[in-house]
Homo-oligomer: A and B are copies of this chain.
Amino acid sequence: MEFLRNCWYMAGWSEELPAGALLSRTFLEQPVVLFRRQDGAPVALLDRCPHRVAPLSRGTLAGDTLRCIYHGLRFDAHGRCVENPHGAIPAKASVPAFPMAERDGVLWIWMGTPDAADTARVPDLGHMARVPATAQSRGAMPSACHYQLIVDNVADLSHVEYLHATTLGGGAFVENRPVVSEQGTEVVIELRSQGQPAPPVYDRFLPQPGVPVDFVNRVTWYPAGLLKLDISVTPMGAPPEQGLRTFNAHIVTPETRTSSHYWYWLTREYRQDDEDMTRLRHALMTRVFVEEDKPVIEAQQRLLGTADLFDAQPVLLATDTGSIRIRRVLKQLLAQEGGPAA
């Protein structure tokens, strides 16, 4: 399957791009250089000088412009050449620019048709950004796999009971089936367990451990690489404010067909002042992602080679409903962007 181009992909955390810095990253197989204009606005250009394909990210910033290190051509934030030290500026001397947005501490890039970039569609993670810093943590896990394998992983939480049996599991993900729905181009996958005790990882923080709970995991997928994961654990019959709630995001951006940028963001609504708990939760989840998810996902990629998972004609289970819907929406969106953006 092609990469969807007309959507906002995460390019990094805001603080990864301080003023004056040049950051080189590959998105959707294209090398990109990121920097900030003097007013702070993020800029993304193809990281390849149109003269002799030198990487612009090795160049030097001059105000809102970037000078190529090799022979000195200078480009503005729109990619237009504004100086050729060796003569007139050639008509074709420009470099593609990619629209960017910044919101809630996240940098977003639009790798598709620039005119189609819609700032109204920049993902809203304000509910997480507003959580006190003492109850937030963020991480990155570059992964040697197609981004869709990571989306599949989060979209089917039944894996928690097996892959994460000793860390996050507790039974709720097997005994119940996900309910999948669509909201426009978003896919919502809700897995709910009622009347069972909470998994140990939550149970110990309930007012009264061992009580049966209403345990809700809601994954919302936004094309193409954003997954919000809202979790709530509430004693049966109790009001929501007596429960434990976490808001999380898994954000993945294709680097190449076999490698991905993967960022995660964890926030919670309970014990927000407890920084030790934040550190412990972050350490636990990082271990889960790095030691449990990553080896299996990267092994999937090695076994698939260059094939897409669904080309490999996998056996499908009830728990695959979410990822099947996501691929269906992706196909529709890809069909829509068809010619012009290809």
Contact = CB atoms under 8 A, between A and B. Distances in A.
21 contacts: A31-B303, A48-B303, A50-B315, A51-B317, A58-B296, A68-B162, A70-B296, A71-B156, A71-B158, A71-B317, A72-B158, A72-B161, A72-B162, A73-B317, A85-B161, A85-B174, A86-B158, A86-B317, A90-B315, A90-B316, A92-B315
A316 B89 CA distance: 10
Given A58-B299, A87-B177, 5 more contacts: A51-B316, A52-B300, A53-B303, A55-B296, A93-B315
Contacts of A85: 158, 161, 174
Given A53-B303, A53-B314, A174 B319 contact: no
A321 to B, nearest CB: 10
Contacts of A47: 303
A71 B315 contact: no
Contacts of A312: 53
Nearest to A92: B315
Contacts of A67: 162
Contact of A314 (B52, B156, B177, B300): B52
A54 interface: yes
Interface string A286-319: 0000000001100110011000010010111111
A54 B51 CA distance: 44
Contact of A174 (B72, B92, B314): B72
Count copies of this chain in the complex.
Answer: 3
Interface string A58-86: 10000000011111110000000000111
B70 A319 contact: no
B162 A90 contact: no
A159 interface: yes
A76 to B, nearest CB: 16
B174 A53 contact: no
Contacts of A156: 71
A330 interface: no
A152 interface: yes
Contacts of A316: 51, 90
